[in-house]
């Protein structure tokens, strides 16, 4: 079984929105990442990936997005051994100035260009690959 996680590569004015994950987070606390979260059990439903991502973005950083487009999917194991399927969507910022709304999950928000992300020595390869793929879709 897998946990299904969705992430948004949110683009505005030539920059991507990254969050500094809270140190309290079980997986990858204190690291920069895209905004997102886990799908919840809903029974029979449609558009669960998109609806989950829109909800998670609003809950974590207080903004709305539009124009969701599939970028890619991957799998990984969390630090505690949970199997995760991760789906990334390109999103365009619609309304609201992002901020660390959910302080249990987010310590800060940071806007970075594609070049800044790719040149950042501490960002994981998978994040750089997701941004490269999303950037090609703009």
Phi then psi for residue 127, to 5 deg, are -65, -45
Q: What pLDDT is stored for residue 42 in this prediction? A: 85
Pairing state between β 35-38 and 3-12: antiparallel
Q: What pLDDT is stored for residue 45 in this prediction? A: 86
The enclosing H or E element of 125 equals helix 125-137
What is the full per-residue pLDDT of the chain (138 aa) written as tens digits? 899 999 999 999 999 999 999 877 666 667 899 999 999 988 888 999 999 999 999 999 999 999 999 999 999 998 889 999 999 999 999 999 999 999 899 999 999 999 999 999 999 999 999 999 999 999
Tens-place pLDDT, residues 45-75: 899 999 999 999 999 999 999 999 999 999 9
Q: Does domain 3-137 have CATH number 3.30.420.40?
A: no
Return the beta strands (E) in the chain as ranges. 3-12, 15-21, 32-33, 35-38, 64-77, 83-95, 106-112
């Amino acid at each position: 079984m897998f946990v299904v996680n969705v992430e948004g590569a949110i683009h505005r004015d030539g920059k991507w929105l990254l969050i500094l994950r809270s140190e309290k987070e079980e997986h990858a606390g204190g690291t920069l990442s895209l905004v997102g979260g886990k799908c919840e059990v809903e029974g029979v439903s449609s558009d669960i990936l998109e609806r989950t991502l829109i909800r998670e973005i609003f809950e974590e950083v207080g903004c709305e997005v539009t124009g969701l487009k599939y970028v890619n999917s991957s799998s990984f194991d969390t630090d505690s051994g949970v199997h995760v399927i991760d789906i990334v969507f390109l999103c365009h910022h619609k309304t609201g100035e992002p901020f660390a709304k959910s302080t249990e999950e987010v310590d800060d928000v940071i806007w970075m260009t594609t070049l800044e992300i790719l040149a950042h020595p501490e960002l994981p390869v998978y994040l750089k690959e997701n941004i490269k793929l999303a950037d090609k879709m703009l």
